[in-house]
Protein backbone atom coordinates (compact mmCIF):
# COMPACT_ATOMS: atom_id res chain seq x y z
CA UNK A 1 0.00 0.00 0.00
CA UNK A 2 1.54 3.28 -1.15
CA UNK A 3 0.09 6.63 -0.17
CA UNK A 4 1.28 10.20 -0.44
CA UNK A 5 0.60 12.52 2.45
CA UNK A 6 -1.45 15.53 1.34
CA UNK A 7 0.42 18.87 1.13
CA UNK A 8 -2.63 20.45 2.80
CA UNK A 9 -2.16 18.22 5.83
CA UNK A 10 1.54 19.05 5.92
CA UNK A 11 0.60 22.74 5.76
CA UNK A 12 -1.64 22.29 8.80
CA UNK A 13 1.24 20.67 10.67
CA UNK A 14 3.52 23.48 9.56
CA UNK A 15 1.08 26.09 10.89
CA UNK A 16 0.94 24.23 14.18
CA UNK A 17 4.73 24.10 14.46
CA UNK A 18 4.97 27.80 13.59
CA UNK A 19 2.44 28.47 16.32
CA UNK A 20 4.59 26.52 18.76
CA UNK A 21 7.60 28.66 17.89
CA UNK A 22 5.68 31.93 18.25
CA UNK A 23 4.18 30.79 21.55
CA UNK A 24 7.68 30.70 23.05
CA UNK A 25 8.30 34.37 22.26
CA UNK A 26 8.11 36.65 25.28
CA UNK A 27 5.86 39.18 23.58
CA UNK A 28 2.05 39.19 24.05
CA UNK A 29 1.02 39.53 20.39
CA UNK A 30 3.41 36.85 19.18
CA UNK A 31 2.47 34.51 22.02
CA UNK A 32 -1.26 34.94 21.40
CA UNK A 33 -0.79 34.42 17.65
CA UNK A 34 1.20 31.29 18.40
CA UNK A 35 -1.50 29.82 20.64
CA UNK A 36 -4.17 30.55 18.01
CA UNK A 37 -2.10 28.76 15.37
CA UNK A 38 -1.42 25.82 17.68
CA UNK A 39 -5.11 25.33 18.38
CA UNK A 40 -6.49 25.93 14.87
CA UNK A 41 -3.74 24.10 13.02
CA UNK A 42 -3.56 21.27 15.54
CA UNK A 43 -7.32 20.80 15.69
CA UNK A 44 -7.67 20.75 11.88
CA UNK A 45 -4.84 18.22 11.63
CA UNK A 46 -6.46 16.05 14.31
CA UNK A 47 -9.72 16.02 12.34
CA UNK A 48 -7.80 14.50 9.44
CA UNK A 49 -6.09 11.98 11.73
CA UNK A 50 -9.47 11.04 13.25
CA UNK A 51 -10.83 10.13 9.82
CA UNK A 52 -7.56 8.45 8.86
CA UNK A 53 -7.99 6.23 11.92
CA UNK A 54 -11.38 5.09 10.66
CA UNK A 55 -10.03 4.56 7.15
CA UNK A 56 -6.86 2.61 7.93
CA UNK A 57 -8.75 0.33 10.31
CA UNK A 58 -11.40 -0.34 7.66
CA UNK A 59 -8.74 -1.04 5.05
CA UNK A 60 -6.98 -3.53 7.29
CA UNK A 61 -10.36 -5.01 8.16
CA UNK A 62 -11.29 -5.85 4.58
CA UNK A 63 -12.47 -2.71 2.76
CA UNK A 64 -9.91 -2.58 -0.05
CA UNK A 65 -11.65 0.37 -1.71
CA UNK A 66 -10.25 2.78 0.89
CA UNK A 67 -6.98 3.76 -0.87
CA UNK A 68 -8.81 4.54 -4.09
CA UNK A 69 -10.99 7.06 -2.26
CA UNK A 70 -7.94 8.98 -1.10
CA UNK A 71 -8.73 8.56 2.60
CA UNK A 72 -5.20 7.47 3.45
CA UNK A 73 -3.59 10.67 2.14
CA UNK A 74 -4.84 12.74 5.11
CA UNK A 75 -6.25 15.23 2.59
CA UNK A 76 -9.07 17.17 4.33
CA UNK A 77 -10.85 17.54 0.99
CA UNK A 78 -11.39 13.79 0.82
CA UNK A 79 -13.46 13.57 3.99
CA UNK A 80 -16.98 14.29 2.68
CA UNK A 81 -17.77 18.00 2.45
CA UNK A 82 -14.82 20.23 3.44
CA UNK A 83 -17.13 22.84 4.97
CA UNK A 84 -18.94 20.35 7.23
CA UNK A 85 -15.81 18.30 7.83
CA UNK A 86 -13.24 20.98 8.61
CA UNK A 87 -14.57 24.54 8.47
CA UNK A 88 -17.65 24.09 10.68
CA UNK A 89 -15.79 22.22 13.46
CA UNK A 90 -13.10 24.91 13.34
CA UNK A 91 -15.71 27.65 13.66
CA UNK A 92 -17.20 25.94 16.71
CA UNK A 93 -13.77 25.75 18.33
CA UNK A 94 -13.08 29.41 17.52
CA UNK A 95 -16.43 30.34 19.04
CA UNK A 96 -15.45 28.46 22.19
CA UNK A 97 -18.06 25.76 21.80
CA UNK A 98 -17.87 21.99 21.95
CA UNK A 99 -15.66 20.70 19.14
CA UNK A 100 -17.96 19.06 16.62
CA UNK A 101 -17.11 15.74 15.04
CA UNK A 102 -15.42 16.20 11.69
CA UNK A 103 -16.26 14.63 8.37
CA UNK A 104 -16.84 11.03 7.58
CA UNK A 105 -15.30 8.34 5.45
CA UNK A 106 -17.61 6.10 3.47
CA UNK A 107 -16.95 2.53 4.55
CA UNK A 108 -18.13 -0.58 2.70
CA UNK A 109 -19.37 -2.39 5.79
CA UNK A 110 -20.23 -5.49 3.76
CA UNK A 111 -16.52 -5.88 3.02
CA UNK A 112 -15.50 -5.85 6.68
CA UNK A 113 -14.69 -9.31 7.96
CA UNK A 114 -16.43 -9.40 11.33
CA UNK A 115 -18.67 -7.40 13.64
CA UNK A 116 -15.66 -6.85 15.84
CA UNK A 117 -13.87 -5.17 12.93
CA UNK A 118 -16.93 -2.94 12.37
CA UNK A 119 -16.78 -1.88 16.00
CA UNK A 120 -13.06 -1.19 15.82
CA UNK A 121 -13.54 0.94 12.70
CA UNK A 122 -15.96 3.17 14.63
CA UNK A 123 -13.76 3.32 17.73
CA UNK A 124 -10.58 4.10 15.79
CA UNK A 125 -11.51 7.76 15.28
CA UNK A 126 -12.18 8.79 18.88
CA UNK A 127 -9.31 6.62 20.12
CA UNK A 128 -7.05 8.57 17.76
CA UNK A 129 -8.17 11.78 19.47
CA UNK A 130 -7.49 10.23 22.88
CA UNK A 131 -4.00 9.12 21.87
CA UNK A 132 -3.21 12.58 20.48
CA UNK A 133 -4.40 14.13 23.72
CA UNK A 134 -2.28 11.73 25.76
CA UNK A 135 0.85 12.43 23.70
CA UNK A 136 0.40 16.18 24.04
CA UNK A 137 -0.20 16.05 27.79
CA UNK A 138 2.84 13.80 28.19
CA UNK A 139 4.96 16.35 26.31
CA UNK A 140 3.69 19.20 28.50
CA UNK A 141 4.27 17.14 31.63
CA UNK A 142 7.75 15.86 30.79
CA UNK A 143 9.36 18.58 28.66
CA UNK A 144 10.20 21.99 30.20
CA UNK A 145 8.63 24.68 28.02
CA UNK A 146 7.56 28.35 28.18
CA UNK A 147 4.13 29.09 29.59
CA UNK A 148 2.72 30.17 26.21
CA UNK A 149 3.59 26.85 24.61
CA UNK A 150 2.38 24.76 27.55
CA UNK A 151 -0.98 26.55 27.74
CA UNK A 152 -1.59 26.34 23.99
CA UNK A 153 -0.73 22.66 23.87
CA UNK A 154 -2.79 21.94 26.98
CA UNK A 155 -5.89 23.53 25.46
CA UNK A 156 -5.34 21.57 22.24
CA UNK A 157 -5.01 18.39 24.30
CA UNK A 158 -8.23 19.21 26.16
CA UNK A 159 -10.04 19.61 22.83
CA UNK A 160 -8.86 16.12 21.89
CA UNK A 161 -10.27 14.73 25.11
CA UNK A 162 -13.59 16.54 24.57
CA UNK A 163 -13.75 15.10 21.05
CA UNK A 164 -13.10 11.62 22.45
CA UNK A 165 -15.76 11.90 25.15
CA UNK A 166 -18.30 13.34 22.72
CA UNK A 167 -17.71 10.83 19.94
CA UNK A 168 -17.71 7.84 22.27
CA UNK A 169 -21.28 8.50 23.42
CA UNK A 170 -23.69 5.78 22.20
CA UNK A 171 -25.84 8.26 20.26
CA UNK A 172 -26.89 7.42 16.68
CA UNK A 173 -24.72 9.38 14.31
CA UNK A 174 -21.70 9.30 16.62
CA UNK A 175 -18.86 6.79 16.70
CA UNK A 176 -19.87 5.33 20.06
CA UNK A 177 -23.16 4.17 18.58
CA UNK A 178 -21.35 2.85 15.50
CA UNK A 179 -19.27 0.64 17.80
CA UNK A 180 -22.31 -1.07 19.32
CA UNK A 181 -24.56 -1.01 16.24
CA UNK A 182 -23.29 -4.31 14.74
CA UNK A 183 -24.31 -6.11 17.94
CA UNK A 184 -27.85 -4.72 18.14
CA UNK A 185 -31.03 -6.40 17.01
CA UNK A 186 -32.46 -5.63 13.58
CA UNK A 187 -35.24 -3.55 15.13
CA UNK A 188 -32.77 -1.52 17.19
CA UNK A 189 -30.58 -0.89 14.14
CA UNK A 190 -33.60 0.26 12.14
CA UNK A 191 -34.51 2.73 14.89
CA UNK A 192 -30.91 3.92 15.06
CA UNK A 193 -30.91 4.50 11.31
CA UNK A 194 -34.02 6.65 11.58
CA UNK A 195 -32.59 8.57 14.54
CA UNK A 196 -29.17 9.12 12.96
CA UNK A 197 -29.97 12.45 11.22
CA UNK A 198 -31.46 14.17 14.26
CA UNK A 199 -30.04 12.47 17.36
CA UNK A 200 -26.74 14.42 17.37
CA UNK A 201 -28.68 17.67 16.99
CA UNK A 202 -30.77 16.80 20.04
CA UNK A 203 -27.59 15.98 21.96
CA UNK A 204 -25.96 19.31 21.08
CA UNK A 205 -29.17 21.15 21.99
CA UNK A 206 -29.16 19.48 25.41
CA UNK A 207 -25.48 20.27 25.93
CA UNK A 208 -25.98 23.95 25.16
CA UNK A 209 -29.49 24.55 26.52
CA UNK A 210 -29.71 22.35 29.63
CA UNK A 211 -27.12 23.48 32.20
CA UNK A 212 -26.79 20.25 34.17
CA UNK A 213 -26.29 18.21 30.97
CA UNK A 214 -23.46 20.49 29.85
CA UNK A 215 -21.97 20.49 33.34
CA UNK A 216 -22.06 16.69 33.50
CA UNK A 217 -20.43 16.43 30.09
CA UNK A 218 -17.58 18.80 30.90
CA UNK A 219 -17.09 17.22 34.32
CA UNK A 220 -16.56 13.90 32.55
CA UNK A 221 -14.22 15.54 30.04
CA UNK A 222 -12.14 17.11 32.82
CA UNK A 223 -12.05 13.76 34.63
CA UNK A 224 -10.66 12.02 31.55
CA UNK A 225 -8.27 14.92 30.97
CA UNK A 226 -6.93 14.51 34.48
CA UNK A 227 -6.58 10.75 34.07
CA UNK A 228 -4.37 11.18 31.00
CA UNK A 229 -2.20 13.69 32.86
CA UNK A 230 -3.66 16.96 31.65
CA UNK A 231 -3.42 20.18 33.64
CA UNK A 232 -6.87 21.88 33.74
CA UNK A 233 -5.38 25.23 34.82
CA UNK A 234 -3.03 25.33 31.84
CA UNK A 235 -5.88 24.30 29.53
CA UNK A 236 -8.11 27.09 30.82
CA UNK A 237 -5.31 29.64 30.46
CA UNK A 238 -4.78 28.43 26.91
CA UNK A 239 -8.48 28.77 26.16
CA UNK A 240 -8.55 32.31 27.56
CA UNK A 241 -5.61 33.34 25.42
CA UNK A 242 -7.03 31.60 22.36
CA UNK A 243 -10.31 33.51 22.79
CA UNK A 244 -8.46 36.83 23.09
CA UNK A 245 -11.36 38.81 21.65
CA UNK A 246 -13.63 38.05 24.59
Find the DSSP H helices in the chain: 7-23, 28-60, 82, 88-94, 115-142, 147-167, 175-180, 186-195, 199-209, 211-227, 232-242
CB 102 within 8 A of CB 79: yes
Q: CA gyration radius for the chain?
A: 18
Q: Nearest CA to 230 among 164, 150, 166, 167?
A: 150
Contact between 38 and 148 (Cβ < 8 Å): no
Q: How far apart are CA 216 and CA 212, in angstroms?
A: 6
Q: Kindly write down the DSSP assignment for every residue of 18-83, as one continuous string.
A: HHHHHHTSSSHHHHHHHHHHHHHHHHHHHHHHHHHHHHHHHHHTT-TTTGGGTGGGT-GGGSS-HI
Query: Catalytic residue positions?
Result: 51
Distance CA 54, CA 106 (A): 10
Amino acid sequence: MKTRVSPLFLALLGATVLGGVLATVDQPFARTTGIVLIVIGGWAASLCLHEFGHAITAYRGGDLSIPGKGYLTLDPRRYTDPVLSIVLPLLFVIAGGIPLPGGAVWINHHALRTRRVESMVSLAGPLTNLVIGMLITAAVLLVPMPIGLSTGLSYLAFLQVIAFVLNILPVPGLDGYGAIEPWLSRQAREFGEKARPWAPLVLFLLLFAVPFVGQAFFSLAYLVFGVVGGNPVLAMLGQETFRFWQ
